[in-house]
């Protein structure tokens, strides 16, 4: 909630977060979707994710010393081998990104 001075402050109502997820420097461009052509195990496809997820995928790829396409190919192959596939691959990628961040945080 914004006060008359333009500063963000937490709301007092029930269910309101104690820490405002919309920090003063929050960049809404991170939420913008971007479509990229990628190769998943040799097949060309298009994947549409928000900018923030592409950035996380780049970090995962860097940590594994490979390309983003290699990370996505691995995810695609493993989900088919372990679970017979997935209906919402983009959603799976988003969850994997968040889980990777949580695991990285837990290790520190």
pLDDT in tens, 18-69: 777 777 788 888 888 999 999 998 899 999 999 999 999 999 999 999 999 9
How high is the mean pLDDT of the chain? 85
Q: What is the pLDDT of residue 104?
A: 80
Q: What percent of the chain has pLDDT over 70?
A: 83
Whether the predicted pLDDT of 2 surpasses 70: no
| Residue 31, CA distances (Å) to 34, 51, 55, 103, 104 in order | 9, 6, 12, 22, 22
Q: Is 79 left (phi over 0), alpha (psi -120 to 50) or beta?
A: alpha
Nearest to 72 by CA among 34, 104, 44: 44
Nearest to 57 by CA among 13, 100, 21, 1: 100
Q: What is the pLDDT of residue 8?
A: 45
Q: What is the pLDDT of residue 101?
A: 94
């Amino acid at each position: 909630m914004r006060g008359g001075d333009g500063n963000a402050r937490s709301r007092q109502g029930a269910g309101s977060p104690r820490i405002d997820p919309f920090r003063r420097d929050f960049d809404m461009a991170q939420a913008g979707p971007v479509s990229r052509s990628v190769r998943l195990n040799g097949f060309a496809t298009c994947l549409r994710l928000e900018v923030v997820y592409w950035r996380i995928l780049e970090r995962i790829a860097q940590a594994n010393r490979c390309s983003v396409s290699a990370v996505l190919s691995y995810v695609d192959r493993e989900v088919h081998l372990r679970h017979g596939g997935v209906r919402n691959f983009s959603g799976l990628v988003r969850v994997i990104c968040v889980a990777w961040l949580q695991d990285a945080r837990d290790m520190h």
